[in-house]
Amino acid sequence: MTTRRTLVKSAATLAGLGTLGAPALLRAQTGAKIRIGYWPIAAGLPFYAAVELGYFKEAGLNVEVLKFAGAQQIMEGMLADRCDGSANGTGSGNLAIGEIASPGTFKIFCSNPSNVKNVLDEVIVPTASTVKTMADLKGKRVGSGPGIQNMTLARTILERGGAVGATVVELPIGQHVAALAAGQLDACYTLEPTGTIGRLNGTTRVLEAGVISRYVLGDPNAPWFGGSASLTSAFIKKNPEETKKFIAAYGKGVAYVRTKSAEARQYLKGYTAIEGPLTSEVPLAAYTMYNEFTPADIAHFQKFFDLFSEKGIFTSRLMVDSMLYKG
């Protein structure tokens, strides 16, 4: 446990954005501090927008923004009481692993489904690569983002896409484009905005987008609830009023992204690796609040979780519904 706590603390501290926006936010705020961890990918946009537009401040909330190197560290931070919650983009599978380790800890109040249309996940290759299909990655070296969710998904899509004998290499997503450009890897399973960055600088191209929906869920248009915003049950129980206010303010961020996506994209700057006018090029995931899930959504979400049970990553089958915030 000492190692885990040290890792979580260093991940947040070394990131350099541990209190992004805090000076403005801390004015006129009362109540419990709400420590929210995020991973610098495009899916976290509703949270970024809510912070920058002052939605949490307007609600009188004291929100501390913590940047982490990976989704797994956010989950570990919540288990170690160094985080009270996660922003969208935090791997749902990572949260589930934490839930199995400590049942009842995590409550998902918003998830970010993606597919071939609402793109988050993709496989990218060097621009000059002769690879045309997933099967062409047979025997190749393929990069993957860090953590058990990313690595398991990368291996699964390669296996089901016919890429027999491919080797999966764990690598921070911020290094994917450079590794491909340098010829160190043949492809990468990655998350936006990585594919956009590589495309715009001319070094990589998207081989296939929406790969989890296709190869794991069996339908390119099926919603993959790969990332989720959550709060710990301990925080919810201790701070019921702040919880309601926080989720409502976060929901305003979701509504803003849905209705004003062009304007919202500017808030990717500072939180992700993409800057300025380039933010307009990034594809966006969709968002589903806790009270918007349909039975079909939950079934797709469950199929995703069941993959981890089938692969032996989960020690027991975990039901998605048990993790959803009930309001």
Half-sphere exposure of residue 279: CA atoms within 13 angstroms, side-chain side: 20
Residue 225 CB partners (closer than 8 Å, separation 6+):
92, 111, 112, 113, 288, 297, 300, 301, 304
The full set of domains in the chain, from first to last, is 2-115+224-323 (3.40.190.10), 121-209 (3.40.190.10)
Cβ distance 42 to 285 under 8 Å? yes
Question: Can the peptide bond before residue 113 be classed as cis, meaning omega within 30 degrees of 0?
Answer: no
Q: 223-253 in b/e burial notation, b at 16+ Cβ within 10 A?
A: bbbbbbbbbbbebbeebeebbebbbebbbbb
What pLDDT sits at residue 24? 39
Query: For the purposes of burial, counting CB atoms within 10 Å of the CB of 196, is it exposed (0-12), middle (13-18) or buried (19 or more)?
Result: buried
Q: From CA 235, how far away is CA 242, in angstroms rounded?
A: 9
What pLDDT sits at residue 277? 81
Q: From CA 47, how far away is CA 250, in angstroms rounded?
A: 6
Cβ distance 56 to 25 under 8 Å? yes
User: Residue-wise pLDDT tens for the chain (327 aa)?
Assistant: 333 333 333 333 333 333 333 333 334 455 779 999 999 999 999 999 999 999 999 999 999 999 999 999 999 999 999 999 999 999 999 999 999 999 999 999 999 999 999 999 999 999 999 999 999 999 999 999 999 999 999 999 999 999 999 999 999 999 999 999 999 999 999 999 999 999 999 999 999 999 999 999 999 999 999 999 999 999 999 999 999 999 999 999 999 999 999 999 999 999 998 888 889 999 999 999 999 999 999 999 999 999 999 999 999 999 999 999 998
Amino acid identity for residue 155 in this structure: R
State the pairing for strand pair 187-191/141-144: parallel
Query: For the purposes of burial, counting CB atoms within 10 Å of the CB of 262, is it exposed (0-12), middle (13-18) or buried (19 or more)?
Result: exposed
pTM: 0.86
Half-sphere exposure of residue 29: CA atoms within 13 angstroms, side-chain side: 22
Lay out the sheet containing 121-126: strands in order across: 167-170, 141-144, 187-191, 121-126, 204-209
Q: From CA 173, how far away is CA 267, in angstroms rounded?
A: 19
